[in-house]
Chains A and B, each alone.
Chain A
Amino acid sequence: MSDEPINANPQVKDVSQLPTRLGGSSNEDNAFPHISYNNKLNNTIRNYLFEEEEEEEENTIDVEQKIDEYDEPIDAQEIYDLISSISDPEHPLTLGQLSVVNLSDIHVKHPDLNKGYVGSVNVKITPTITHCSLATLIGLGIRVRLDRSVNKSYRIGIYVKEGTHQSENQVNKQLNDKERVCAACENPQLVKVVGRMLDTCTI
């Protein structure tokens, strides 16, 4: 990555504008709504994830059973909460703030395990500029995050939103090629960059 950001002046949304189910009201501190809410959001996510992780460690069998039986359906908002807090690789902002990730572009199809069908989670990302070379990296970050957090009965699909990228097909193909994603996850440099992006989600 060069020192010059590829998109130096992106459009930024305030965190309080983002759709969420996490955290409470954002009007507690009117002087610095952004900062206070941001902290709160991060804490809530941290607690949320921490609890989940603890549960997993305590009782692996239970978790496995849970996966098999699949009792708690997920929804688009939950997926949004998981990925909107990922950091952009070149701005100190989240994918939610940059509107790279939007709630309306997340689609969840529930599995029907009794009939033998797995479900799916499809996310369409909107790169900040049409030639953004970081689109693949952002997509990889989202995939890693969802692969780690979402129940295995959902297949994850990550695509660039139609008309928002010059090499749409190329990026889509790469992001959904299991073998390439797995190989990328064994590349120490990439793992480091993705890790930094996911730091703000405190996995």
Chain B
Amino acid sequence: MSLEKIGSVQAHAERVWDLSTHSGIPLLASCSSDKTCKLFDISNGIKEVSKLDEETHSKSIRSVQFKYSKDTTYPTLALGSFDSTSSIWGADDFKSKWELLAVVEGHENEVKCVDWSIDGKFLSTCARDKSIWIWETDELNEEFECVAVLSEHEGDVKFVNWNDKGLNDDHTFISGSYDDTLRVWRQDSYDEDEWNCVANLSMDSTVWSATWINNNTILCGLDDGRVIQCIRKVDNNKDGIETDRDNLPSTVKDVEDWIIDKVWSKHEGSVYSVSCKDDTVVSGGSDGVIRVYNLNGDILAEKRLAHGTSEVNVVAVVKTGVVASGGDDGVVALWKV
């Protein structure tokens, strides 16, 4: 089955790097190497509604992420740029002017990804400097305090992605890197200033992107073209001795049993993006192919040359059966299964 294009716009003059959909409003954000971020109304087709101030970032904007919210007022988003800074933006509602709330500085070089914890308390940023920074923020998102710097990766950290499929206070996220690993991080249950790497999976290829399918299942997009599922093996017997874990050394008690489970599909080039929401999963990459799956990994639909001969840099599930994509051609498109 093929994907039907239900909307498309020449959003940017240069490559579209990233997209984000708001969880309460039919609003889509895109960012580009043209150093701009734009917002689109996607309630009916795709219409540009605003453009953020262009003077804020001096280099490509690599990442955009809305803060999770079911409200229709006060949407907030974060941007990460190759200029080494991240910026936070807010508006009163859908169509009002977006204001710069904060600029978050600390990384030595290109910020590659930004993401919010589902309760909005934390923002994570990662960069080519191999580090992940965790920032604690207030309700208005005007103050950002760095509470942790995680430097265990041995290469650029390509992305951070908080668990959005768990409970509201589940402070767990995954990161992927140029060092060919996928890591799972959890806030320590006793010392909330401690963040532990509870799993370190070797993938033999740069991990470009990953998404949560559920609490114990992660899907990754790799440079070698594989779309690969990892699962957490939850052993009932092990859970039984959990009460004894306090006696173990701290390095041991937090290790979880994550394994590489199965390959969902293989692209003919780097898989730059995977996304999951509701019961729809999508992958896209340098081969220009967009593939849509159900939660079991069955392919429901595929579109080849989705952005002409250009590479697809990002795919995002809007809602069941509807996905958005952005490519090197500067186009943002909407598709329906």
Q: Which residues of A contact B (CB under 8 A)?
A: 67-68, 70, 111, 113, 115-118, 151-153, 155, 173, 177-180, 182-183, 186
Contacts and interface: CB of A to CB of B under 8 A. Distances in A.
Given A68-B309, A173-B178, A177-B206, A182 B33 contact: yes
Nearest to B109: A183
B110 A118 contact: no
B304 interface: yes
Contacts of B291: none
Given A173-B178, A178-B270, A186-B82, A118 B156 contact: no
A26 B111 CA distance: 51
A16 to B, nearest CB: 37
B305 interface: yes
B112 A179 contact: yes
A111 B309 contact: yes
A116 B112 contact: no
Interface in B5-48: 15, 33
A153 B304 CA distance: 13
Contacts of B311: 155, 178
23 contacts: A68-B309, A113-B305, A116-B304, A116-B305, A117-B268, A118-B309, A152-B309, A173-B178, A177-B206, A177-B223, A178-B272, A178-B311, A179-B110, A179-B156, A180-B128, A180-B178, A182-B82, A183-B60, A183-B82, A183-B109, A186-B59, A186-B60, A186-B82
Interface string B169-183: 000000000100000
A178 B286 contact: yes
Contacts of B309: 67-68, 70, 111, 113, 118, 151-153
A173 B308 contact: no
A68 B308 contact: yes
B321 interface: no
Contacts of B112: 179
Interface string B48-59: 000000000001
A181 B158 CA distance: 14
Interface of B: 15, 33, 59-60, 62, 82, 109-110, 112, 128, 156, 158, 178, 206, 223, 268-270, 272, 286-289, 304-305, 308-311, 328
A74 B10 CA distance: 28
Contact of B110 (A117, A152, A183): A183
A113 B287 CA distance: 12
A46 B328 CA distance: 28
Contacts of B305: 113, 116, 118
Given A68-B309, A152-B309, A179 B286 contact: no
Closest 10 pairs (CB-CB, A-B)? A116-B304, A153-B309, A152-B309, A183-B110, A186-B59, A116-B305, A183-B82, A186-B82, A118-B309, A118-B288
Contacts of A117: 268, 304
A152 B109 CA distance: 29
A183 B269 contact: no
Contacts of B158: 179
A195 B326 CA distance: 29
A118 to B, nearest CB: 6
A171 to B, nearest CB: 14
Contacts of A155: 269, 286, 311
Contact of A118 (B33, B59, B287): B287
Contacts of B223: 177
Given A118-B287, A173-B206, A180 B310 contact: no
Contacts of A183: 60, 82, 109-110, 128
